[in-house]
Chains A and B, each alone.
Chain A
Amino acid sequence: MKTFLLIAISCIGFGQTPRVGRPATEETIKAMDLTVFPDGRGLPPGSGTAVKGKDVFKEKCSVCHNDKGEGRQGQYPALVGGAGTINTPKPIKTVGSYWPYATTVFDYVRRAMPYDQPGTLKPDEVYAAVAFVLNANGIIGDNDEMNAMTLPKVKMPNRDGFVLDKRPDVKAKK
């Protein structure tokens, strides 16, 4: 590997391209980039409310997640409920009770949902479906507009529920 780097570096002197990789165009990056950060970077233009999301959810999500996002036992996860259970012996983890960032819901729904047709939703539909789920959990109002500015500001109930890995945490008796 060292020689390879040396060759690569020495090639620069001869005016050759020392790289293996080919420059990526802006279009390629735009077409492929799906990352949404917690501060909202990566969110596309567009918007939606829970009221609009009702129809989106009914059409695109309820067949699996049920009418109100309550899920279907054992097969499709509930998207609502579990509030106040996370520090009990029987925690119920849902978007409402456990997820720390609303931006993560957007990121996940855009890339992975509907489960059998991921990547088919338009940004407005994603914003609306996410607004519906947040509203169903009592986190935002019926007509609160979710867009690239407002979504990162939504404070999720379990926003402060996470700490960094502390392992090795269990000390074995020799």
Chain B
Amino acid sequence: MVHNEISEDSRRLDRNNIFFKVPLNPEETDVHKISKAVVRDDAADKSSGKAKYVSDLSFPGMLHMAIKPADIQHAHILNIDIPKLPENYTVINGEDFKGQNRATIIAEDWPFFAEDKVLYYGQPLLAVAGPELEICEKLCSEITAKYETLPAVSVIDEAQEFFNDFHIVKGYPEKAFKKAALIFDNSYRTGMQEQAYMEPQGMIADFPDGSLMVRGSLQCPYYVKNSLMNALALDADHVRVIQTVTGGAFGGKEDFPSILAGQAAAAAVKTGHPVKIVLDRRLDMQLTPKRHPSVIDIRTAIDEEGHIIAMDIDCRIDAGAYQTLSEVVLERAIFICTGAYNIMNVHVRGRTMKTNHIPSGAFRGFGGPQAHFAADMNMHFLANKLGIPPLELKKKYLYQQGDHSITSGTFRDEIKFDEMIEKIEEASEYSRKWEEYNSKAMSKPCRGIGISFAAHGGAFTGSGEQDIIKSLVRLSAERSESEHYIVRILVSNVEMGQGASTTLRKIVAETMYLPLGQIVFNRSDTDEVPDSGPTVASRTIMIVGKLLHDAAKELLERINSGHVPQNGKPVDVEKRYVHPQEFEWDESTFTGDAYPAYSWSTNVIEVEVDPLTYETKVIGSWAVYDVGTLIDLNIVKGQMQGGTAQSLGSASLEKMEMINGRPAQLSFTDYTIPTTLDFPDLQCQFIDNPYRYGPFGAKSAGELPNIGPAAAFTAAISQATGTIITEIPVTPEKLDAELR
């Protein structure tokens, strides 16, 4: 029989799908049993250094590879002069791809190696593979290219061309603008942001016996696999992708691994040796996609009673030189372009602008942070214009159950902003401090406080889960040495630090009444796991976790009805995703429910500004989240705090400037991500709001904390300085120029 740790009583409760709650500690009285924190299975090996990341692996006969980046922004390549190479050193270039010299990253336009043209500074021209890395690097530095320079576009403002141009209308904005008593225009800007995962990108490719095997640090094994099949003209049976322990990703290992894997694979095919490439940090920062910079112009119509009646939003994001996945980032941005606020009449135009720098890519939040920054700061700006406190104005427009989204979808579930506001007020004393600081801009101590609200739609946009991803998960119950069963989770979603290996196991363990130790989560290997989709879009728990929850229920039933796994004969259950019927989506008109469920947050940030140097310091950070049921308190807290630090980083410290298309900050000395001393304790709380279609009521969590803090920070700085700031990062240099 299945080993059972849970009392009969709670089993009965759970069977009826009622959420049972247990007190965790005196302060946290209202937490579901599954929310109780457990010790992660991967903590010990990571602490002791035993965990093997891709840079720690090597294989017999393995070669190294160095990339030769172009040292020009936009040009025709006239010729590339390659000196005679020593024995055992090989050049790899675009001609080494039998299928296509293009990675599949939604769009198929980004080449592994430049062909006749260079479109951005640092674009790989070729690579050199050979036994000694230092010699490969030296050979690369000796290779020279001749160019004919072309005019380059470096920033959004200069860009004329775009990849996509979308319009969405909600309500009757044109009519509303005609009725407006007041119209306000303002423009908001967000900068480029580097993911700055601590483990640099790396891959090892091998091509023994006509089959390709690629190991690496990555989020989406099947993305990489599909891209390799297309690039090297191999069929599915001849490409295997294995994820290695991944040292952080944040979106940065969603797109680029397809490029790096392609480059390494072409080298392995050509040389017949395993080929390893781990990017040195400077190269990693130079070569890999970053968060899309944005310029969002918002025109707001106000009627005679002071109500916001319409908005006209023009959202441009900087896609860089190739389209890759920018279209989807843009969709996420425009679908939530009024932030967490319900505006009845909206016209939004969205464009992905084409410029000559590294293609922008995936970064936690995926368009959401840019859209929310503009939307939330616009509310702040309007409050100031209308002479009312920002929170008072914001509260009036917060989305409520039954409201309609930009795409005319319906918010079907309860939205508990009242409770969230009450909690955050109590924790942060926002309103009291706001009053206190309000009349004292730029007087010592120069303080301010800001509040923001955010929404994040979980999972793929629109019908993507149903029509494109079609997740398939498998659970496999095996008999173990002892009398117990081992249940193996077979999914392509990866553990990359976010805790998936622990939370997914908890879901299966809780569903099958098994101790956690009997559930096994293997690192993803495409030869073993079905395609349950990429590890992106905060979908792992909400979508894949739910499929596993269902699969676990079925597996338990099968075992209980006598299908007991025997030695060598496991019992498998597979589940494929079916979109809940109630959600509708029309991709051609962007109409309907863009996401099945939304997670919600409110952030309060308190700051102090040095009146002499304009250095800013966060002195308090509070947040309340609604992410449905927490699958593990510590893991979710870790996500929330880490995401908050990234968002605060993007708002204050993290400046990435493109000077003639060339990133000026190419090291952690100059691209300054937060240290232990930059931010105080990042406090967070949760409210209880289980989601009908989520496993144990969980919905999306991972990206949400990266969305709201930046606007709360900027609102706080605005109060402290008495000037409404509309651009992040808010550097002392910008404040100096603004306030002088």
On whether the two chains bind one another, the answer is: no
- Chain A interface (Cβ < 8 Å from any Cβ of B): none
- Chain B interface (Cβ < 8 Å from any Cβ of A): none
